[in-house]
C-alpha cells in the first residue's frame, strides 16, 4: 500500500512546484514582475464565433488579452479581469467576434503596461458548413516521466484541436493526495497540474485548441465514481486549469457539445454521475446519469450531421476495463453494459448512422465495431489499412481507443477469437499488443472531410519508436458516408440562399433578437430547445418572403411561462421552394440569465 502524504507534504509540493514553474516559464519584459505568467495560455474550443483562453499568473493583479488576425495592427482587447488566490491566480477569457479559418495573434497584458510575447492560434472551420478539420486524441499523461516531448510531435501535425481524454495528471500516483483536509487536497491537485504542464505541452496548448475531459486519476483516485469525497475540489481545479467549455450544466458534470464543419461532437463526463463499478450491472447502474444520458440520446437523434463524434474517457468495447483497486467489476463501459446496451439499442431503433466514439484509458491503440450484423464487409483492406462504408454497415458504432500518451502500463483483456463471429460482442478491427516494460507513447490522428461528395473520417494510429524517437504509423481506418447530401449535413451550404447570425445580446436577461435572411420565399420554422433537446416554444412556422427578417424571444415558453436561467438552443429551418424536398437548418446556442 502506498503511503499517503499529509497536509504539509501537499502544501510543500504546491510551493515547490509554483516556484519552479515561475523560474522556468515566466514571460514579460525583464524587470517587471507583474508581466509574468506561471505557464503559457491554454486555448480552448471555438463556439459561436468566440474562443476561450485560460491564463495563469504568478501574483494578484489585473490582466487582459489583446488579439487580432495575423498581419493586422488594429485588433480587440478583452475586459480586464483580476487574478486572485481564490482561483489559483487563473482566469479564462472569451475572445469574441472571431472570423472562421483565420490565424490570430494574441498576448496577455498587465495593468502596469507590461505584456507577454505574442502567441498564435487558428480558428475553427465554420460550424454548419462542409469543411475539413483534424484532431489528435489520446489519454494518460503520467507526470513521473516528464518532460512530455510527445507534445512537440503533435504540434508538427498542425491539428485543428487536440482531445485529451482523461488522466492528464495522476492524483493518486507519485504521491497520493487523497487524504487530509479538503484545503490540502485542493493545493496538491493544483501542484500536480502545474508540474505536469511542461514546456512541450505549453508550446502546443498556447497555439492548438485543447478539448479536455477527466478520467479517474485526474478526477481523484483509481476507478473513482460519484462517491469520491473530493470531487468538488477536483472540479474547481479542472476549471481553473483549462479554458471555459460550453458545459451542459454549470453545477454538474463536465459534459458539453460543439459543432465543427457540419460534425456534432459530444464530450461525455464518465465520472461525476457514475455508479460504483462494484455495483451489479443491472437496470439503474449508470455511467452517465439520467440527464446526461437523455441529453446524449436526444442529441444523436436530432443531429443531421454525417458523423456524430463522441469523446469518452473510458473505452466502449468489450476488451477495455480496469479491475484494480481491489474491487469487482470493470471500470470501462464493459462494466456498465446495461446502460451501454440502452445506448446501442436506441441508435439501432432510430437508425442513427455515423456514430464514432473516441476513448482513452485502454492503454493500447485499438479499433472496434459495435451494433454490427454479419456480414461485416469492408470496401477495401490491406495489411495496414481498411475502409468501411456506412451504406454497408447500417447503425454500427465505431470505438477508437488510443492511450497512453506518456505512460508504460497496458490494461484491458485479451481478444477472444470466437467473439469475432458473435454480434453480441465488439468486433475487433485492430489492436496493438503492448509490453508492460516498454516506455512509449501512442495517439490517434483523425482527419475529417465533409466537403467531398464522399464524406469521410480517417483515423491513423501512431506509436513512438523508442530508437528513432519519431512517431510511426501503425494502422489506418477510414469510414465513408455517401448517403447524405450537402444540404442535409450542413445548414448553410449555400450562404447566399440562407443565412442566420448569432442572436444578440447573448447572454441576455431581456428580449434577444434572432436575425435570418432568405433569398427566396420559403417556409420557415424557428424552434427553441432546452439542453435536453425538449421543445420550449415554436416562435415561427409559416411562409416568409425573400429578404432579411428578425424575431424577438423574451425567455418565455408555451403559455407565456418564464423559463429558468441556463443554456438554450434555437433552430431555424428553411424549406426551399426552388429545391423541392430539401431544407437548410441552423442550430445556435444562447444563454438566458433570469
Dump pLDDT digits (tens) for 468-492: 778 999 999 999 997 654 433 333 3
Angle made by CA atoms 175, 331, 185, in degrees to the nearest 5: 30
User: Among residues 254, 207, 240, 226, which one has the least CA distance to residue 106?
Assistant: 207
Looking at the chain, the domain(s) classified CATH 2.60.40.4070 span 494-592
Q: Report the C-alpha gap between 148 and 201 in whole angstroms.
A: 7
Dump pLDDT digits (tens) for 143-170: 776 788 889 999 999 999 999 999 999 9
User: pLDDT class for 215, splitting at 50, 70, 90?
Assistant: very high
Q: Report the C-alpha gap between 449 and 437 in whole angstroms.
A: 38
User: Among residues 155, 160, 157, 156, which one has the least CA distance to residue 132?
Assistant: 160
- CA dist list (Å): 262 to 3, 95, 307: 50, 22, 8
Q: Are 207 and 154 in contact (CB under 8 A)?
A: no
pLDDT at 208: 97
Dump pLDDT digits (tens) for 295-332: 999 999 999 999 999 999 999 999 987 777 778 889 99
Q: What residues contact residue 44 under an 8 Å CB cut-off, 6+ apart? A: 51, 52, 53, 54, 92, 209, 210, 211, 242, 243, 244, 245
CATH number, domain 132-487: 3.60.21.70
pLDDT at 582: 56
Q: What architecture (CATH level 2) is domain 494-592? A: Sandwich (2.60)
Q: Are 537 and 552 in contact (CB under 8 A)?
A: no
- The lowest-confidence range among 179-193, 243-257, 463-477 is 463-477
- The lowest-confidence range among 107-116, 219-228, 280-289, 485-494 is 485-494
Looking at the chain, the domain(s) classified CATH 3.60.21.70 span 132-487
Dump pLDDT digits (tens) for 442-455: 999 999 999 998 99
Dump pLDDT digits (tens) for 97-121: 999 999 999 999 999 999 999 999 9
Phi-psi region of 123 (alpha: psi -120 to 50; beta: other; left: phi over 0): beta
Q: 10 Å Cβ neighbour count for 68?
A: 15
Q: How many residues does the chain have?
A: 594
- Whether residue 18 is predicted with pLDDT greater than 70 in this model: the reply is no
Q: Are strands 355-359 and 308-312 parallel, antiparallel or unpaired?
A: parallel
Angle made by CA atoms 264, 549, 532, in degrees to the nearest 5: 30
State percent of the chain over pLDDT 90. 59
Helix (H, G, I), strand (E, B) or coil at 117: coil
pLDDT at 136: 98
- Whether residue 287 is predicted with pLDDT greater than 60 in this model: the reply is yes
Q: What is the DSSP string of 440-459?
A: B-EEEEEEEE-SSSSEEEEE
Q: Are strands 132-138 and 161-165 parallel, antiparallel or unpaired?
A: parallel
φ and ψ at residue 511, rounded to 5 degrees: -65, 145
Query: With helix as H, strand as E and coil as C, how does 228-295 read?
Result: CCCHHHHHHHHHHHCCCCCECCCCCCCCEEEEECCEEEEECCCCCCCCCCCCCCCCCCCCCCHHHHHH
pLDDT at 329: 87
Dump pLDDT digits (tens) for 391-444: 999 899 999 999 988 876 667 788 888 889 888 899 999 998 776 556 578 999
pLDDT at 587: 76
Amino acid at each position: 500500500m502506498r503511503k499517503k502524504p499529509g497536509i504539509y507534504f501537499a502544501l510543500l509540493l504546491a510551493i515547490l512546484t509554483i516556484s519552479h514553474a515561475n523560474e522556468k516559464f515566466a514571460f514579460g519584459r525583464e524587470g517587471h514582475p507583474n508581466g509574468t505568467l506561471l505557464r503559457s495560455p491554454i486555448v480552448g474550443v471555438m463556439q459561436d464565433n468566440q474562443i476561450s483562453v485560460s491564463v495563469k499568473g504568478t501574483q494578484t493583479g489585473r490582466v487582459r488579452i489583446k488579439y487580432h488576425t495575423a498581419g493586422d495592427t488594429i485588433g480587440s482587447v478583452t475586459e480586464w479581469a483580476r487574478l486572485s488566490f481564490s482561483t489559483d491566480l487563473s482566469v479564462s477569457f472569451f475572445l469574441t467576434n472571431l472570423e472562421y479559418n483565420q490565424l490570430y495573434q494574441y498576448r496577455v497584458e498587465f495593468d502596469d503596461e507590461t505584456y507577454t510575447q505574442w502567441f498564435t492560434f487558428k480558428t475553427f472551420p465554420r460550424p454548419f458548413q462542409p469543411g475539413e478539420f483534424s484532431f489528435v486524441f489520446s489519454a494518460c499523461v503520467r507526470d513521473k516521466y516528464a518532460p512530455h516531448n510527445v507534445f512537440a510531435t503533435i504540434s508538427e501535425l498542425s491539428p485543428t484541436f487536440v482531445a485529451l481524454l482523461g488522466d492528464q495528471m495522476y492524483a493518486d500516483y507519485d504521491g497520493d493526495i487523497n487524504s487530509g483536509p479538503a484545503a490540502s487536497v485542493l493545493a496538491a491537485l493544483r501542484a500536480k497540474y502545474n508540474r505536469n504542464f511542461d514546456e512541450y505541452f505549453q508550446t502546443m496548448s498556447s497555439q492548438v485548441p485543447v478539448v479536455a475531459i477527466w478520467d479517474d486519476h485526474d478526477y481523484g483516485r483509481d476507478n473513482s465514481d460519484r462517491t469520491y469525497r473530493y470531487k468538488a475540489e477536483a472540479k474547481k481545479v479542472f476549471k481553473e486549469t483549462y479554458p471555459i467549455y460550453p458545459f451542459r450544466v454549470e453545477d454538474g458534470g463536465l459534459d458539453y457539445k460543439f459543432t465543427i464543419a457540419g460534425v456534432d461532437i459530444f464530450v461525455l463526463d464518465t465520472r461525476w454521475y457514475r455508479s460504483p463499478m462494484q455495483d451489479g450491472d443491472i437496470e439503474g447502474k449508470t455511467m452517465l446519469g439520467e440527464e446526461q444520458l437523455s441529453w446524449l440520446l436526444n442529441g444523436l437523434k436530432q443531429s443531421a450531421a454525417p458523423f456524430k463524434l463522441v469523446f469518452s474517457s473510458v473505452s466502449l468495447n468489450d476488451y477495455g476495463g480496469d479491475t484494480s483497486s481491489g474491487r469487482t467489476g470493470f471500470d470501462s463501459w464493459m462494466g456498465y453494459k446495461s446502460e451501454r446496451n440502452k445506448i446501442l439499442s436506441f441508435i439501432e431503433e432510430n437508425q442513427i448512422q455515423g456514430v464514432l466514439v473516441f476513448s482513452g484509458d485502454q492503454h493500447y491503440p485499438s479499433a472496434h465495431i459495435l451494433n454490427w450484423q454479419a456480414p461485416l464487409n469492408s470496401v477495401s483492406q490491406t495489411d495496414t489499412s481498411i475502409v468501411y462504408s456506412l451504406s454497408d454497415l447500417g447503425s454500427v458504432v465505431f470505438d477508437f481507443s488510443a492511450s497512453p500518451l506518456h505512460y508504460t502500463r497496458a490494461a484491458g483483456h485479451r481478444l477472444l477469437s470466437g467473439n469475432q463471429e458473435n454480434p453480441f460482442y465488439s468486433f475487433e478491427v485492430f489492436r496493438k499488443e503492448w509490453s508492460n516494460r516498454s516506455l512509449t507513447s501512442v495517439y490517434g490522428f483523425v482527419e475529417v472531410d465533409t466537403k467531398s461528395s464522399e464524406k469521410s473520417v480517417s483515423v491513423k494510429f501512431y506509436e513512438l519508436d523508442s530508437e528513432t524517437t519519431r512517431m510511426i504509423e501503425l494502422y489506418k481506418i477510414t469510414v465513408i458516408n455517401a448517403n447524405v447530401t450537402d444540404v442535409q449535413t450542413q445548414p448553410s451550404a449555400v450562404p447566399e440562399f440562407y443565412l442566420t447570425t448569432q442572436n444578440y445580446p447573448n447572454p441576455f436577461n431581456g428580449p434577444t433578437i434572432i436575425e435570418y435572411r432568405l433569398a427566396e420565399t420559403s417556409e420557415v420554422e424557428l424552434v427553441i430547445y432546452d439542453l435536453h433537446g425538449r421543445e420550449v416554444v415554436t416562435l415561427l412556422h409559416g411562409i416568409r418572403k425573400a429578404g432579411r427578417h428578425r424575431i424577438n424571444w423574451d425567455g418565455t415558453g408555451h403559455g407565456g411561462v418564464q423559463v429558468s436561467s441556463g443554456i438554450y438552443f434555437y433552430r431555424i429551418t428553411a424549406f426551399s421552394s426552388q429545391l423541392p424536398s430539401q431544407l437548410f437548418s441552423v442550430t445556435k446556442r444562447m444563454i438566458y440569465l433570469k
